[in-house]
Protein backbone atom coordinates (compact mmCIF):
# COMPACT_ATOMS: atom_id res chain seq x y z
CA UNK A 1 0.00 0.00 0.00
CA UNK A 2 1.09 3.64 -0.41
CA UNK A 3 1.26 3.95 3.39
CA UNK A 4 3.55 0.91 3.68
CA UNK A 5 5.79 2.16 0.87
CA UNK A 6 6.03 5.56 2.57
CA UNK A 7 7.03 3.89 5.85
CA UNK A 8 9.66 1.83 4.02
CA UNK A 9 11.14 4.96 2.43
CA UNK A 10 11.30 6.79 5.76
CA UNK A 11 12.97 3.76 7.37
CA UNK A 12 15.54 3.58 4.56
CA UNK A 13 16.37 7.27 4.92
CA UNK A 14 16.71 7.07 8.71
CA UNK A 15 18.61 3.80 8.83
CA UNK A 16 20.34 3.23 5.47
CA UNK A 17 22.56 0.20 5.02
CA UNK A 18 25.45 2.04 3.39
CA UNK A 19 28.35 0.26 1.72
CA UNK A 20 30.72 1.41 4.47
CA UNK A 21 28.39 0.05 7.14
CA UNK A 22 27.96 -3.21 5.21
CA UNK A 23 31.74 -3.65 4.97
CA UNK A 24 32.13 -3.10 8.73
CA UNK A 25 29.29 -5.50 9.58
CA UNK A 26 30.58 -8.11 7.11
CA UNK A 27 33.99 -7.98 8.74
CA UNK A 28 32.39 -8.38 12.16
CA UNK A 29 30.40 -11.43 10.97
CA UNK A 30 32.86 -13.21 8.66
CA UNK A 31 36.29 -12.10 9.91
CA UNK A 32 35.99 -10.83 13.49
CA UNK A 33 39.78 -10.94 13.99
CA UNK A 34 40.58 -8.97 10.83
CA UNK A 35 42.67 -5.81 11.10
CA UNK A 36 40.29 -3.65 9.07
CA UNK A 37 42.92 -3.02 6.38
CA UNK A 38 40.72 -4.44 3.63
CA UNK A 39 37.86 -2.22 4.81
CA UNK A 40 40.09 0.83 4.34
CA UNK A 41 41.04 -0.36 0.87
CA UNK A 42 37.43 -0.94 -0.20
CA UNK A 43 36.47 2.48 1.13
CA UNK A 44 39.12 4.03 -1.13
CA UNK A 45 37.79 2.11 -4.13
CA UNK A 46 34.26 3.37 -3.51
CA UNK A 47 35.60 6.93 -3.17
CA UNK A 48 37.37 6.62 -6.54
CA UNK A 49 34.18 5.26 -8.12
CA UNK A 50 32.16 8.19 -6.80
CA UNK A 51 34.65 10.58 -8.40
CA UNK A 52 34.58 8.70 -11.71
CA UNK A 53 30.79 8.67 -11.64
CA UNK A 54 30.79 12.44 -11.23
CA UNK A 55 33.24 12.82 -14.12
CA UNK A 56 31.06 10.65 -16.37
CA UNK A 57 27.97 12.70 -15.48
CA UNK A 58 29.77 15.95 -16.28
CA UNK A 59 31.70 14.72 -19.34
CA UNK A 60 29.61 16.67 -21.85
CA UNK A 61 29.75 19.86 -19.79
CA UNK A 62 33.51 19.83 -19.18
CA UNK A 63 34.54 18.63 -22.65
CA UNK A 64 35.66 15.19 -21.48
CA UNK A 65 34.25 13.37 -24.49
CA UNK A 66 36.53 12.25 -27.30
CA UNK A 67 39.88 10.54 -27.61
CA UNK A 68 43.49 11.39 -26.98
CA UNK A 69 46.30 10.63 -29.41
CA UNK A 70 47.41 7.70 -27.28
CA UNK A 71 46.99 3.94 -27.28
CA UNK A 72 46.97 1.91 -24.08
CA UNK A 73 48.78 -1.32 -23.26
CA UNK A 74 45.99 -3.29 -24.99
CA UNK A 75 46.37 -1.20 -28.17
CA UNK A 76 42.98 0.44 -27.66
CA UNK A 77 42.43 4.11 -28.39
CA UNK A 78 42.60 6.03 -25.11
CA UNK A 79 39.66 8.30 -24.32
CA UNK A 80 39.98 11.44 -22.22
CA UNK A 81 37.88 9.79 -19.52
CA UNK A 82 40.13 6.71 -19.61
CA UNK A 83 43.08 8.80 -18.49
CA UNK A 84 41.10 10.68 -15.86
CA UNK A 85 39.55 7.49 -14.46
CA UNK A 86 42.93 5.75 -14.37
CA UNK A 87 44.56 8.63 -12.51
CA UNK A 88 41.65 8.66 -10.05
CA UNK A 89 41.99 4.96 -9.26
CA UNK A 90 45.77 5.10 -8.91
CA UNK A 91 45.75 8.19 -6.70
CA UNK A 92 42.96 6.91 -4.49
CA UNK A 93 44.65 3.54 -3.93
CA UNK A 94 48.23 4.77 -3.61
CA UNK A 95 47.74 6.63 -0.35
CA UNK A 96 45.60 4.13 1.55
CA UNK A 97 48.64 2.52 3.15
CA UNK A 98 47.13 -0.86 2.19
CA UNK A 99 48.29 -1.38 -1.41
CA UNK A 100 51.72 -2.50 -2.59
CA UNK A 101 51.18 -3.00 -6.32
CA UNK A 102 48.58 -2.30 -8.99
CA UNK A 103 47.84 -3.32 -12.57
CA UNK A 104 45.65 -1.26 -14.89
CA UNK A 105 44.50 -1.67 -18.47
CA UNK A 106 45.91 1.77 -19.19
CA UNK A 107 49.47 1.06 -17.97
CA UNK A 108 51.83 -1.20 -19.85
CA UNK A 109 53.69 -2.21 -16.69
CA UNK A 110 52.65 -2.73 -13.08
CA UNK A 111 52.39 0.29 -10.79
CA UNK A 112 54.45 0.16 -7.59
CA UNK A 113 53.34 2.16 -4.59
CA UNK A 114 55.92 4.27 -2.76
CA UNK A 115 57.49 2.10 0.00
CA UNK A 116 56.38 4.55 2.69
CA UNK A 117 52.72 3.85 1.78
CA UNK A 118 52.92 0.15 0.96
CA UNK A 119 50.47 -2.35 2.39
CA UNK A 120 49.86 -6.05 1.95
CA UNK A 121 47.34 -6.01 -0.90
CA UNK A 122 47.57 -5.65 -4.66
CA UNK A 123 44.78 -4.38 -6.91
CA UNK A 124 43.93 -4.96 -10.56
CA UNK A 125 41.46 -2.80 -12.45
CA UNK A 126 40.02 -1.62 -15.73
CA UNK A 127 39.33 2.01 -14.79
CA UNK A 128 36.67 2.62 -17.45
CA UNK A 129 35.41 -0.46 -19.24
CA UNK A 130 33.36 0.23 -22.37
CA UNK A 131 34.73 3.74 -22.77
CA UNK A 132 34.29 3.59 -26.56
CA UNK A 133 30.58 4.08 -25.77
CA UNK A 134 30.99 7.06 -23.46
CA UNK A 135 30.38 9.68 -26.15
CA UNK A 136 26.96 8.13 -26.79
CA UNK A 137 26.06 8.24 -23.07
CA UNK A 138 25.94 4.44 -22.86
CA UNK A 139 26.57 2.75 -19.51
CA UNK A 140 30.25 2.15 -18.73
CA UNK A 141 32.00 1.01 -15.59
CA UNK A 142 35.05 0.27 -13.44
CA UNK A 143 36.09 -3.37 -12.86
CA UNK A 144 38.37 -4.26 -9.96
CA UNK A 145 39.88 -7.17 -8.06
CA UNK A 146 41.90 -7.40 -4.84
CA UNK A 147 44.54 -9.99 -3.92
CA UNK A 148 46.67 -10.49 -0.84
CA UNK A 149 50.39 -10.18 -1.70
CA UNK A 150 52.10 -13.56 -1.81
CA UNK A 151 54.67 -12.45 0.76
CA UNK A 152 54.15 -9.01 2.25
CA UNK A 153 57.56 -9.14 3.95
CA UNK A 154 59.24 -8.79 0.55
CA UNK A 155 59.11 -6.15 -2.19
CA UNK A 156 56.12 -6.79 -4.46
CA UNK A 157 56.64 -8.25 -7.92
CA UNK A 158 54.38 -8.99 -10.87
CA UNK A 159 53.91 -12.48 -9.46
CA UNK A 160 51.63 -10.88 -6.84
CA UNK A 161 49.38 -9.64 -9.64
CA UNK A 162 49.56 -12.85 -11.68
CA UNK A 163 47.62 -15.00 -9.24
CA UNK A 164 44.79 -17.32 -10.19
CA UNK A 165 41.32 -15.88 -9.82
CA UNK A 166 40.63 -18.42 -7.08
CA UNK A 167 42.93 -16.29 -4.88
CA UNK A 168 40.78 -13.17 -5.15
CA UNK A 169 39.62 -11.88 -1.78
CA UNK A 170 37.34 -9.21 -3.25
CA UNK A 171 36.06 -8.29 -6.68
CA UNK A 172 33.43 -6.04 -8.16
CA UNK A 173 32.45 -3.41 -10.62
CA UNK A 174 30.86 -0.01 -10.52
CA UNK A 175 28.46 0.80 -13.36
CA UNK A 176 27.82 4.39 -14.37
CA UNK A 177 24.43 4.60 -16.06
CA UNK A 178 20.97 5.95 -15.24
CA UNK A 179 22.04 5.17 -11.68
CA UNK A 180 25.53 4.45 -10.37
CA UNK A 181 25.67 0.92 -8.95
CA UNK A 182 28.46 -1.03 -7.28
CA UNK A 183 28.34 -4.82 -7.36
CA UNK A 184 30.68 -6.40 -4.83
CA UNK A 185 31.69 -9.80 -3.48
CA UNK A 186 34.03 -10.64 -0.62
CA UNK A 187 33.69 -14.35 -1.24
CA UNK A 188 30.38 -14.97 0.53
CA UNK A 189 27.81 -13.99 -2.10
CA UNK A 190 27.18 -10.89 -4.18
CA UNK A 191 25.53 -7.64 -3.10
CA UNK A 192 24.53 -4.53 -5.04
CA UNK A 193 24.65 -0.92 -3.87
CA UNK A 194 23.15 2.17 -5.53
CA UNK A 195 24.69 5.62 -5.14
CA UNK A 196 22.36 8.06 -3.38
CA UNK A 197 23.64 11.40 -4.63
CA UNK A 198 21.81 13.33 -1.91
CA UNK A 199 23.83 11.52 0.77
CA UNK A 200 26.90 10.83 -1.34
CA UNK A 201 26.75 7.20 -0.18
CA UNK A 202 26.26 3.80 -1.78
CA UNK A 203 23.16 2.20 -0.24
CA UNK A 204 22.41 -1.53 -0.20
CA UNK A 205 19.61 -2.17 -2.72
CA UNK A 206 20.34 -5.76 -3.83
CA UNK A 207 21.22 -7.70 -0.66
CA UNK A 208 21.79 -11.12 -2.21
CA UNK A 209 22.15 -11.38 -5.96
CA UNK A 210 21.63 -14.84 -7.44
CA UNK A 211 21.81 -15.33 -11.18
CA UNK A 212 18.52 -17.05 -12.13
CA UNK A 213 18.92 -20.79 -12.72
CA UNK A 214 16.30 -20.46 -15.46
CA UNK A 215 16.84 -16.90 -16.52
CA UNK A 216 15.43 -15.04 -19.45
CA UNK A 217 16.45 -16.61 -22.78
CA UNK A 218 18.94 -13.85 -23.58
CA UNK A 219 22.30 -14.24 -25.27
CA UNK A 220 24.81 -11.43 -25.58
CA UNK A 221 27.49 -11.55 -28.28
CA UNK A 222 28.87 -9.40 -31.08
CA UNK A 223 27.41 -11.17 -34.10
CA UNK A 224 29.44 -8.92 -36.39
CA UNK A 225 32.31 -11.35 -35.76
CA UNK A 226 30.29 -14.45 -36.69
CA UNK A 227 32.26 -15.14 -39.89
CA UNK A 228 35.36 -15.72 -37.77
CA UNK A 229 33.84 -17.90 -35.02
CA UNK A 230 34.73 -21.51 -34.37
CA UNK A 231 32.23 -24.32 -34.92
CA UNK A 232 31.08 -24.49 -31.29
CA UNK A 233 30.08 -20.82 -31.02
CA UNK A 234 28.56 -20.87 -34.51
CA UNK A 235 26.38 -23.84 -33.59
CA UNK A 236 25.36 -22.36 -30.25
CA UNK A 237 24.18 -19.11 -31.82
CA UNK A 238 22.39 -21.09 -34.56
CA UNK A 239 20.45 -22.84 -31.80
CA UNK A 240 19.62 -19.46 -30.29
CA UNK A 241 18.14 -18.44 -33.65
CA UNK A 242 16.46 -21.80 -34.32
CA UNK A 243 15.44 -23.51 -31.07
CA UNK A 244 13.94 -26.96 -30.79
CA UNK A 245 10.21 -27.31 -31.24
CA UNK A 246 8.40 -25.98 -28.18
CA UNK A 247 11.34 -23.83 -27.03
CA UNK A 248 11.33 -20.04 -27.14
CA UNK A 249 13.85 -18.35 -29.45
CA UNK A 250 16.56 -16.57 -27.49
CA UNK A 251 16.76 -12.79 -27.64
CA UNK A 252 19.96 -10.99 -28.60
CA UNK A 253 20.99 -8.16 -26.26
CA UNK A 254 24.43 -6.69 -26.83
CA UNK A 255 25.52 -3.31 -25.48
CA UNK A 256 29.25 -3.54 -26.16
CA UNK A 257 30.19 -2.54 -22.62
CA UNK A 258 31.20 -5.62 -20.61
CA UNK A 259 30.05 -4.11 -17.32
CA UNK A 260 26.57 -3.36 -18.70
CA UNK A 261 26.19 -6.71 -20.48
CA UNK A 262 27.38 -8.71 -17.47
CA UNK A 263 25.19 -6.64 -15.12
CA UNK A 264 22.08 -7.53 -17.11
CA UNK A 265 23.16 -11.18 -17.24
CA UNK A 266 23.74 -11.21 -13.48
CA UNK A 267 20.26 -9.83 -12.72
CA UNK A 268 18.16 -11.43 -15.46
CA UNK A 269 20.11 -14.57 -16.30
CA UNK A 270 21.23 -15.54 -19.79
CA UNK A 271 24.69 -15.81 -21.28
CA UNK A 272 27.48 -13.40 -22.26
CA UNK A 273 29.99 -14.54 -24.86
CA UNK A 274 33.20 -12.91 -26.06
CA UNK A 275 34.77 -15.94 -27.77
CA UNK A 276 38.04 -16.44 -29.54
CA UNK A 277 37.88 -16.08 -33.31
CA UNK A 278 40.19 -16.12 -36.33
CA UNK A 279 41.22 -12.48 -35.76
CA UNK A 280 41.72 -12.96 -32.01
CA UNK A 281 42.64 -16.61 -31.48
CA UNK A 282 43.41 -15.99 -27.80
CA UNK A 283 40.28 -13.95 -27.21
CA UNK A 284 39.95 -10.19 -26.76
CA UNK A 285 39.15 -9.52 -23.10
CA UNK A 286 41.89 -9.45 -20.47
CA UNK A 287 42.18 -12.22 -17.89
CA UNK A 288 43.72 -10.34 -14.95
CA UNK A 289 41.50 -7.29 -14.61
CA UNK A 290 38.38 -8.21 -16.61
CA UNK A 291 37.96 -11.99 -16.79
CA UNK A 292 38.89 -12.96 -13.24
CA UNK A 293 36.87 -10.30 -11.35
CA UNK A 294 33.78 -10.92 -13.48
CA UNK A 295 34.14 -14.71 -13.25
CA UNK A 296 34.46 -14.39 -9.46
CA UNK A 297 31.21 -12.41 -9.26
CA UNK A 298 29.31 -14.74 -11.58
CA UNK A 299 30.38 -17.84 -9.66
CA UNK A 300 29.59 -16.21 -6.31
CA UNK A 301 26.10 -15.55 -7.70
CA UNK A 302 25.65 -19.20 -8.71
CA UNK A 303 26.61 -19.04 -12.39
CA UNK A 304 29.57 -20.32 -14.39
CA UNK A 305 32.44 -18.63 -16.24
CA UNK A 306 34.65 -20.52 -18.71
CA UNK A 307 36.82 -19.92 -21.76
CA UNK A 308 34.88 -22.59 -23.61
CA UNK A 309 37.10 -25.40 -22.41
CA UNK A 310 38.25 -24.46 -18.89
CA UNK A 311 37.17 -22.58 -15.79
CA UNK A 312 38.46 -18.99 -15.94
CA UNK A 313 39.35 -18.78 -12.24
CA UNK A 314 41.68 -21.81 -12.57
CA UNK A 315 43.90 -20.24 -15.25
CA UNK A 316 47.41 -19.29 -14.20
CA UNK A 317 48.07 -15.83 -15.72
CA UNK A 318 51.41 -15.34 -17.45
CA UNK A 319 51.12 -11.68 -18.44
CA UNK A 320 49.33 -8.66 -16.96
CA UNK A 321 47.53 -7.96 -20.25
CA UNK A 322 46.95 -11.60 -21.23
CA UNK A 323 43.78 -12.13 -23.26
CA UNK A 324 41.27 -14.96 -22.99
CA UNK A 325 37.91 -16.00 -24.48
CA UNK A 326 34.99 -15.56 -22.08
CA UNK A 327 31.67 -17.40 -21.76
CA UNK A 328 29.71 -16.67 -18.58
CA UNK A 329 26.20 -16.60 -17.19
CA UNK A 330 23.43 -19.00 -16.21
CA UNK A 331 24.96 -22.40 -15.47
CA UNK A 332 22.79 -24.47 -17.82
CA UNK A 333 23.49 -22.18 -20.78
CA UNK A 334 27.25 -22.18 -20.16
CA UNK A 335 27.13 -25.98 -19.78
CA UNK A 336 25.60 -26.20 -23.27
CA UNK A 337 28.43 -24.17 -24.81
CA UNK A 338 31.03 -26.29 -22.99
CA UNK A 339 29.45 -29.48 -24.37
CA UNK A 340 29.58 -28.09 -27.90
CA UNK A 341 33.31 -27.37 -27.48
CA UNK A 342 33.80 -31.03 -26.50
CA UNK A 343 31.74 -32.33 -29.41
CA UNK A 344 32.86 -30.05 -32.25
CA UNK A 345 36.45 -28.98 -31.50
Catalytic residue numbers read 76, 82, 105-106, 126, 128-129, 290
Question: Measured in whole angstroms, how far is the alpha carbon of residue 68 from the centre of its chain?
Answer: 24
According to DSSP, residue 243 is labeled P
User: According to DSSP H, which parts of the chain are helical?
Assistant: 2-14, 19-30, 37-57, 80-94, 158-161, 231-241, 258-268, 292-300, 331-344
Do 260 and 110 contact (CB within 8 A), yes or no? no
Tally of CB atoms within 10 A around 4: 8
Taking CA 171 as the corner, what is the angle to CA 140 and CA 214, rounded to the nearest 5 degrees?
75
Q: Give one DSSP letter per residue of 284-320, joined into a string.
A: SEEIIIIIHHHHHHHHHTT-EEESSSSBGGG----ST
Strand partners, 174: 142, 182
Q: Spell out the residues 6+ positions from residue 34 whose beta carbon is closer than 8 angstroms to its own.
A: 27
Q: Which helix (H) or strand (E) holds 69?
A: strand 67-71
- 3-state SS class at 137: coil
Q: Spell out the residues 6+ positions from residue 2 whose beta carbon is closer than 8 angstroms to its own.
A: none
CB half-sphere exposure, 71, CA atoms < 13 A: 4
Do 148 and 169 contact (CB within 8 A), yes or no? yes
Q: What is the CA radius of gyration of the chain?
A: 20
CA distances from 258 to 12, 42, 175, 205, 326 (A): 31, 22, 10, 22, 11
Amino acid sequence: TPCARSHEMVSLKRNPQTLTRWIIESQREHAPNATGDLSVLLTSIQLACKAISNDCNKAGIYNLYGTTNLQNASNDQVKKLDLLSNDTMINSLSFTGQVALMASEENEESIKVDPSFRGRYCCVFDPLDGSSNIDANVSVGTIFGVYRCLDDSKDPTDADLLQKGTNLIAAGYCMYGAATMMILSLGFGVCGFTLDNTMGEFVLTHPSIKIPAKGKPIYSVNEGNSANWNAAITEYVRRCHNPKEGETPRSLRYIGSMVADVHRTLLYGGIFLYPADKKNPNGKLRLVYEGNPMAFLIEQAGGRAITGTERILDIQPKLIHERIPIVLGTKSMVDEVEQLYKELL
